[in-house]
Amino acid sequence: MSLSRIPFFHGVRLKISPLRSVLFVCLGNICRSPLAEGIFKSVLEAEGKAEGVLIDSAGTNGYHTGEAPDARSIKVAGRHGIDISGQQCRQLAADDFDRFELIVGMDRMNIAAIEKRRPVGATAQAGLLYEIALGHPKQIPDPYYGTEADFEAVYRMILAASKGLSARF
């Protein structure tokens, strides 16, 4: 990717050198971000890039802390050979902003919540998943109130974004 095509987020140009850590964030850490964590790990493993990379997920709220991901997320991931059933939901924490180089939100509401929680002097770069990965300001919709077809559509969107994001790792 040429320098002119690397997107800016909050006035910061993303690193060109390989990233080594990413945190995926959605509202409750039960639907989209656990899927993103599992899918991205799977993509990096398939590309031989997973070793030494820190990948995790969190929610901007703590409603589901300690719970497993939504059964529909587990099911759609499983249909594609990805097991996310062992993940536990957690809330975004202040130390995440220094533990991770990149924090990606699934939608603009998540990005706003991430930035609101950002501690002064935090080093993580943050942005919208689809925009960072594919250069499009597209949001990943929350499938929680939808059908299994909505979860499958979200899976496909996250898979496409994960394949794009893997180029930065």
Q: Is 99 marked active-site?
A: no
The structural domains of the chain, ordered by start, are 33-168 (3.40.50.2300)
pTM of the model: 0.91
The pLDDT tens digits of the residues spanning 68-88 come to 999 999 999 999 999 999 999
Of the candidates 56, 96, 107, 142, the residue annotated as catalytic is 142
Question: What's at 4, amino acid-wise?
Answer: S
Give catalytic status of residue 32 as yes or no: yes
How confident is the model over 102-125, as pLDDT tens digits? 999 999 999 999 999 999 999 999
What does the pLDDT look like over 110-166, one tens digit per residue? 999 999 999 999 999 999 999 999 999 999 999 999 999 999 999 999 999 999 999
* Tokens standing for residue 157: 């969107």
